[in-house]
Structure 1
Amino acid sequence: MTDWTDALPEPARAFLEGRRLDEVECVIADLPGIARGKAVPASKFARQDYFHLPDSIFFQTITGDWGEAADEDDGGFIERDMILRPDMSTATAAPWTGDWTLQVIHDAYDRKNNPVPYAPRNVLKRVVELYRKQGWEPVVAPEMEFYLTARNLDPAKPIEPMMGRSGRPAAARQAYSMTAVDEFGPVIDDIYDFAEAQGFEIDGITQEGGAGQLEINLRHGDPVKLADEVFYFKRLIREAALRHDCFATFMAKPIENEPGSAMHIHHSIMDIETGRNIFSGPQGGETDAFFHFIGGLQTYTPAAIAVLAPYVNSYRRYVKEHAAPINLAWGRDNRTTGIRIPLSGPASRRVENRLAGMDCNPYLGIAASLACGYLGLVNEKWPSKPLKKDAYEGEPDIPQVLGQALQVFEEAEDLHQILGEDFCRVYSIVKRAEYEEFLQVISPWEREHLLLNV
């Protein structure tokens, strides 16, 4: 090993023990959460302190088109180079590759060494720093839902469940079934193996309600670290699925009449000075801060939905009786509400935001959820009364389509101040470009029902 590898995180060093490192993948998440970057020989990586990518990677839509988001006062769309510096604490194995490869997440800076404001990891760091300036340390625990599906090579055909070990397609409505989990045993074995090689601790894997739908829970911790893990996990899970002739999809709603896939986010806040959970008082009771955090989620989440549900498909998930919330009611141990308080002791009291889809960028989804809670704390927002019944009996109070969500987001000045004005400007322009492109597509439903009937 070369000297620089001696300072790698322990799992990365264990992965390379007795082996020669061949390549390093230098990666950064774009707005959708896709890994962008360069693969370089290990010998070259050892000699470089940074590398360059154009800032236009943050102006690109999910389809590969471009939003007109470049700052005209700074030269416009000239694809100015950013300076990308490695965060070596994120160095981890890429165990599915044919040679010995590491991945390293990089942070984006401009030429004056300022963080690029629309880089998603920088957005989350900005929000976390706002908490720390108040003397608070935010803690999150994401839950990741996804589907294992049959290979789909024709976008015109519906997505179908994968074939299980039994030779039968994965069955729906088998939530928490161990037999259903066993159907995907070989894929899950690889997920565990890859996660272990990367040093990630899985808190559990369960079968969800959809056909071929699984959930992975992660241990609670630092928001940036957990967002890094979700970013890495999406790639890890896709690679494990491909080894077994199936796809892993993180679409919010991949299959008609099946539940959607969420990224539930559990939140707690620690007092930096005392190390105590600010949601619990000295006698273990619920504090004003606990209620203000919930009030913040209720007040500001409608404006953040465009980030938590970033695609037209995302809004197909918010359907009554399909394991997804339709409003911002809150309740204790109530899975029909958008905001749930899980069973816990005072030290681990937390608030679960159930609105985010698994299709959101993990950095931006966690940042937006924390931003809403932060605004509730500093503005002392009080929530409604807790709901003790089925929240699906209530009316929706979140945007129903992406166009509506973007309009609310664009008018949310309080949220812009927390996430960053420049990020919000770029995000809105890019998402508008995606939405307008989608509106040019004529769907099979329109051809079937409108062609000869209207």
Structure 2
Amino acid sequence: MTDWTDKLPQAARDFMAGRRLDEVECIVADIAGVARGKAMPASKFARQNQFYLPNSIFLQTITGEWADNPSGAFTEPDMVMTPDYSTATAAPWTADWTIQVIHDAYDQQGNPMPIAPRNVLKRIVKLYEDKGWKPVVAPEMEFFLVARNIDPNQPIIPPMGRTGRRAAAKQAYSMSAVDEYGKVIDDIYDFAEAQGFEIDGILQEGGAGQVEINLNHGDPVALADEIFYFKRLIREAALRHDCFATFMAKPIEGEPGSAMHIHHSVTDIATGQNIFSDDQGRETPAFLHFIAGMQKHLPAAVALLAPYVNSYRRYVPDFAAPINLEWGRDNRTTGLRVPISGPEARRLENRLAGMDCNPYLGIAASLACGYLGLLEAENPRDECLGDAYMSRDELPYNLGDALDLMMENAAMREVLGDEFCAVYESVKRNEYKEFLQVISPWEREHLLLNV
């Protein structure tokens, strides 16, 4: 073994044991959460400790266009990409022996790039640490398995199951529904094990072919890395069985959308105690302040939690998506839910994020709201004891309005970083403008001959 392999996690070393490593994929998440980078022979990777990518990868839109650079000229200077060996993991679906390594982005003076999503999340975690706190998250991932769709003009439909029938909707928690595409689930488990990831549970959700994967609680950056990796491994598992996996917030008309619920708790670094519970196991003022921060600042975070025009199709009443800022204990109609738990695991679940969000940015934005609440020390509104689906509208319902709220909130811009917010707005305004130029089938059907 060469020296660099000694730095790898045990799962990566187990994957490589007794084998000749062929390739290393050096990757970084862009604004959308898409993996960008380089693949290189393992022998070359062993001889270098960094590589270079143009900073323009963070100005690329989901359609492949280039947004305007808010800081001035589009000169595309190189960033220095440095491997984080703790993130090394197998790519078990490849034909040869390959591992992936997430890299951190620095400028040429050695400063973390403020527009890199992983660095944005690290920035938020550092704000907590500077106050003596350690944020803990537990994400839930919802996604759809769908039939192959190679014509964007055709609607997405559920996949064919082992019975020869299309996956059925309204089968939440059904074990037989999960068995319909059990081979895909088997490969997800196998890939996750090879990559060293622990799945807390897999279940059938309410949509046709909709699956939920729960991850164990832990460090926000590590969990965001896992979701970044999980999206790829799930897609690869689906492709092996002639279907697609999609993380769109609302891929199928008439079906519920896919969320990335985020459970939050905060521990005291010095004592290891959950700051949301006191010595007698009661809720603390800090817990209520955290909730208040969510209620106050989440409207400015929605642009990161719901980053595409399609994201807002999930925010409709009566489709299991909480579209409110109410909070309640064990109340799934509220946007902010306090799950049943013991005092040591007291936590708040943010149910607003879509699964289409960049996991680094979605978790960063959610943590930023709670952090601001802890600093501002305000109290939330009274707990919602009824059906929160009937509550007032408080959230933006399109991407343009969401971006306006983000840029108007000075506190949110400060914690996320002004330079990052400017780049993010530029990318998303470009995408929104491009979408508004597309004429939809609905418009052709109802307006062509009637107006």
What band does the TM-score fall into relative to the shorter chain? over 0.9
Q: Is the 8 A contact 2:31 2:58 kept in 1?
A: yes
* 2:186 is aligned with 1:199: no
CA RMSD, Structure 1 to Structure 2 (Å): 0.6
Residue equivalent to 1:55: 55
Give the aligned partner of residue 253 of structure 1: 250
Write the mapping of 1:104-183 to structure 2, written as runs, cut at 5 A.
104-183=101-180
SS at match of 1:99: coil
Residue 162 of structure 1 aligns to a residue in which SS? coil
Name the structure 1 match of 2:211: 214
Question: 5+ residue gaps in structure 1?
Answer: none
Matches of 1:410 and 1:452 in 2, distance apart? 40
Cα deviation digits, residues 56-94 of structure 1 (max 9, x gap): 00000000011102522xxx1011100000000000000
1:306 aligns with 2:297: no
Deviations 1:370-420 (A, max 9, x none): 000000000112111111111111122100111111111111110011000
Letter paired with 1:268: S
Q: Return the alpha-carbon distance in structure 2 between the equivalents of residues 28 and 432 of structure 1.
A: 23
CA distance in 1, matches of 2:378, 2:230: 35
Aligned to 1:28: 28
After TM superposition, the score normalised by the length of structure 1 is 0.99
Structure 1 counterpart of 2:67: 67
Cα deviations by residue, 1:258-297 (Å, 9 ceiling, x for unpaired): 0000000000000000000000001000000000000000
Contact 2:70 2:422 in 1 (8 A): no
Q: After superposition, what is the alpha-carbon deviation per residue over 1:14-49, rounded to whole angstroms, capped at 9, x for unaligned?
A: 001110100000000000000000000000000111
Asked whether the equivalents of residues 59 and 70 of structure 1 are also in contact (C-alpha less than 8 Å), the reply is no
CA distance in 1, matches of 2:409, 2:449: 43
- Does 1:265 find its partner at 2:262? yes
Structure 1 runs, 4 residues or longer, greater than 3 Å off:
none
2:332 alignment counterpart: 335
Give the match for residue 378 of structure 1: 375
Partner of 2:395: 398
Alignment of 1:343-362 (within 5 A): 343-362=340-359
Distance in 2 between residues matched to 1:90 and 1:30, nearest whole Å: 17
Q: Would the aligned equivalents of 2:7 and 2:86 in 1 still touch at CA under 8 Å?
A: no
What letter corresponds to residue 140 of structure 1 in structure 2?
V
**Alpha-carbon distance, 1:8 to partner:** 1.1
Of 308, 322, 326, the match for 1:325:
322
- Residue 142 of structure 2 contacts residue 211 of structure 2 at CA under 8 Å; is this kept in 1? yes
Task: Give a deviation string over 1:287-343, Cα, whole Å, max 9, x none.
Answer: 000000000000000001000000000000011111101111110001111000000
1:374 corresponds to which letter in structure 2?
Y
Structure 2 SS opposite 1:416: helix
- For 1:36, give the aligned amino acid: R
Aligned-partner residue type, residue 264 of structure 2: H
For the Cα contact (< 8 Å) 1:172–1:211, is it kept in 2? Answer: yes
Counterparts of 2:311 and 2:420 in 1: how far apart (Å)?
21
CA distance in 1, matches of 2:3, 2:429: 47
Aligned to 1:83: 80
Which residue of structure 2 aligns with residue 2 of structure 1? 2
TM-score (norm 2): 0.99
Please say if residues 326 and 395 of structure 1, whose CA atoms lie closer than 8 Å, have aligned partners that are also in contact: no
User: Deviation of residue 7 (structure 1)?
Assistant: 2.4
Looking at structure 1, the residues matched to 393 and 29 of structure 2 have their Cα atoms a distance apart, in angstroms, of 32
Q: What is the alpha-carbon distance in structure 2 between the residues aligned to residue 155 and residue 7 of structure 1?
A: 44
**166, 185, 194: which one pairs with 1:188?**
185
Secondary structure of residue in 1 paired with 2:46? helix
| Structure-2 separation of matches of 1:7 and 1:129 | 24
Shift of 1:2: 2.5
The letter of the residue matching 2:166 is P
User: For this pair of structures, how many residues does the alignment match?
Assistant: 451
SS across alignment from 1:254: coil
Query: Corresponding residue for 1:37?
Result: 37
| Partners of 2:318 and 2:204 in 1: CA distance | 18
Deviating more after overlay: 368-377 vs 382-391: 382-391
CA–CA distance in structure 2, aligned partners of residues 248 and 434 of structure 1: 23
**SS of the residue 1:95 aligns to:** coil
Q: Measure, in 2, the Cα distance between the counterparts of 1:239 and 1:114.
A: 35
Contact 1:174–1:209 (CA under 8 A) maintained in structure 2: yes
